[in-house]
């Protein structure tokens, strides 16, 4: 009986971690693109899209992850942990690529990679990752606040010129649209509950608590705080430019301007909190909704969201494959040198 209970418990965890996120992403994507004109989509990719701007956006997608690796190394240094830059960068690349399959697994995996290849304390690195996420959340909240303040006059003027009211805005939502929004919010709350329970379980180990504390407080002891802030700003500026430059790929988004791009970017950042692979589904829904709000045709908005998310996801996957090769080289060096030689 106990063995059977253990089996069902593992099965439920498997469903919660893998099946449900994939099912949620699939359901939202199916709903959004169920009547999509795929022939028009292929036409847009081959003849109506300016690929130059897409290629120009890719370096910023890479630099965001490189800045994150540099910031992570700096956060670990006060604890006496000094991973190689190549290892830290590869760990970041693989963490994002792995999250395409299993949402949120990348945060744990990148700490395990540093432990395996450079001997960095796993729990200390986890603590530093938690600190990173807190800093990122503060930055995105500040960015959101600034964006909303900038957009209030624009939104008021837009409403006056078009006669748009909040009732008409929300009237564009179908019953299914409200259902998708509710499911996304529910998924976020469920993820927070699961993470809180796991954190409480981990706190039962005294040594782990001390290492996590060191990781959380490491930022206060960094050698060069301005440089740490520069890396943090570089991460989010790179993310935004990675997104904003894609506005120039299509004629229907080119003229929208940087403030609309900021609004779509911020809403998209909150959408990826929903535990689906790389935010697939919720991100499409959020970005499309913002573009439609600013007058873009629904089909064109869906085309933009699908194109940008797909190509940027392929970039993440390519970086993950590259990182696997880098780690293979590092592993070969480790076998011929002293273990954890830094």
Number of structural domains in the chain: 1
Taking the CA atoms of residue 18, residue 23, residue 28 and residue 29 in that order, the dihedral angle to the nearest 10 degrees is 90
Instruction: Give 215's pLDDT tier (boundaries 50, 70, 90).
Output: low
Instruction: Give 341's pLDDT tier (boundaries 50, 70, 90).
Output: very low
Q: Do 218 and 75 touch, CB atoms closer than 8 A?
A: yes
Query: Range with the lowest mean pLDDT among 96-100, 209-213, 298-302, 330-334?
Result: 209-213
Q: What is the pLDDT of residue 158?
A: 47
- Residues 136-164 have a mean pLDDT of 67
- Residues 280-303 have a mean pLDDT of 84
pLDDT tens per residue across span 124-133: 888 888 888 8
pTM score, whole prediction: 0.76
Nearest to 284, CA basis, from 27, 42, 13, 44: 27
Q: What is the pLDDT of residue 15?
A: 56
Higher per-residue pLDDT: 176 or 294: 294
Say if 2 falls within a structural domain: no
* The pLDDT of residue 302 is above 70: yes
Q: Do 75 and 125 touch, CB atoms closer than 8 A?
A: no
Q: What is the pLDDT of residue 161?
A: 47
Domain hosting residue 75, numbered range: 22-332
Q: What is the pLDDT of residue 288?
A: 87
Say if 108 falls within a structural domain: yes
Say if 12 falls within a structural domain: no
Percent share of the chain, pLDDT over 70:
68
Q: What is the pLDDT of residue 342?
A: 46
* The pLDDT of residue 285 is above 60: yes
SS (H, E, C) the chain: CHHHHHHHHHHHHHHHHHHHHHHHHHHHHHHHHCCCCHHHHHHHHHHHCCHHHHHHHHHHHHHHHHHHHHHHHHHHHHHCCCCCHHHHHHHHHHHHHHCCCCCCHHHHHHHHHHHHHHCCCHHHHHHHHHHHHHHHHHHHHHHHHHHHHHHHHHHHHHHHHHCCCHHHHHHCCCHHHHHHHHHHHHHHHHHHHHHHHHHHHHCCCHHHHHHHHHHHHHHHHCCCHHHHHHHHHHHHHHHHHHHHHHHHHCHHHHCCCHHHHHHHHHHHHHHCCCCCHHHCCHHHHHHHHHHHHCCCCHHHHHHHHHHHHHHHHHHHHHHHHHHHHHHHHHHHHHHHCCCCCC
Please give the span between the terminal C-alpha atoms of the chain, in angstroms, as a whole number. Answer: 50
Residue 18 burial by CB count (10 A; 0-12/13-18/19+): exposed, middle or buried? middle
pLDDT tens per residue across span 55-107: 999 999 999 999 999 999 998 888 888 889 999 999 999 999 988 877 777 88
- Residues 113-118 have a mean pLDDT of 89
Average pLDDT, the chain: 77
Higher per-residue pLDDT: 194 or 317: 317
Say if 181 falls within a structural domain: yes
- Across 138-147, 291-300, 305-314, which has the greatest mean pLDDT? 305-314
Instruction: Give 193's pLDDT tier (boundaries 50, 70, 90).
Output: low
Q: What is the pLDDT of residue 284?
A: 85
């Amino acid at each position: 009986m106990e063995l059977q209970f253990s089996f069902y418990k593992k099965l439920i965890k498997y469903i919660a971690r893998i099946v449900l996120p994939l099912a949620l992403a699939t359901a939202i994507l199916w709903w959004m693109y169920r009547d999509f004109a795929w022939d028009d989509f292929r036409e847009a990719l081959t003849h109506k899209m300016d690929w130059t701007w897409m290629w120009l956006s890719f370096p910023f997608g890479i630099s965001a992850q490189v800045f994150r690796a540099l910031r992570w190394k700096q956060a670990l240094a006060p604890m006496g942990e000094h991973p190689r830059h190549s290892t830290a960068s590869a760990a970041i690349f693989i963490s994002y690529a792995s999250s395409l399959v299993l949402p949120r697994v990348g945060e744990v995996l990148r700490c395990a990679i540093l432990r395996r290849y450079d001997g960095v304390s796993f729990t200390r690195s986890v603590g530093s990752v938690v600190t990173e996420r807190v800093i990122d959340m503060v930055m995105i909240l500040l960015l959101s606040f600034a964006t909303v303040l900038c957009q209030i006059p624009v939104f008021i003027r837009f409403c006056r010129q078009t006669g748009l009211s909040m009732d008409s805005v929300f009237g564009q939502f179908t019953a299914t649209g409200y259902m998708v929004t509710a499911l996304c919010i529910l998924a976020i709350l469920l993820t927070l509950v699961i993470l809180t329970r796991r954190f409480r379980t981990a706190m039962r180990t005294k040594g782990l608590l001390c290492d996590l504390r060191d990781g959380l407080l490491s930022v206060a002891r960094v050698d060069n705080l301005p440089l740490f802030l520069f890396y943090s700003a570089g991460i989010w500026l790179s993310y935004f430019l990675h997104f904003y430059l894609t506005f120039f790929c299509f004629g229907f988004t080119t003229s929208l301007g940087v403030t609309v791009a900021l609004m779509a970017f911020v809403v998209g950042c909150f959408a990826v909190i929903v535990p689906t692979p790389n935010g697939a589904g919720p991100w499409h829904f959020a970005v499309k909704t913002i573009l439609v709000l600013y007058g873009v045709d629904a089909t064109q908005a869906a085309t933009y969201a699908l194109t940008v998310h797909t190509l940027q996801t392929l970039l993440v996957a390519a970086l993950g494959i590259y990182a696997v090769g880098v780690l293979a080289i590092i592993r070969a060096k480790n076998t011929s040198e002293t273990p954890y030689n830094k």
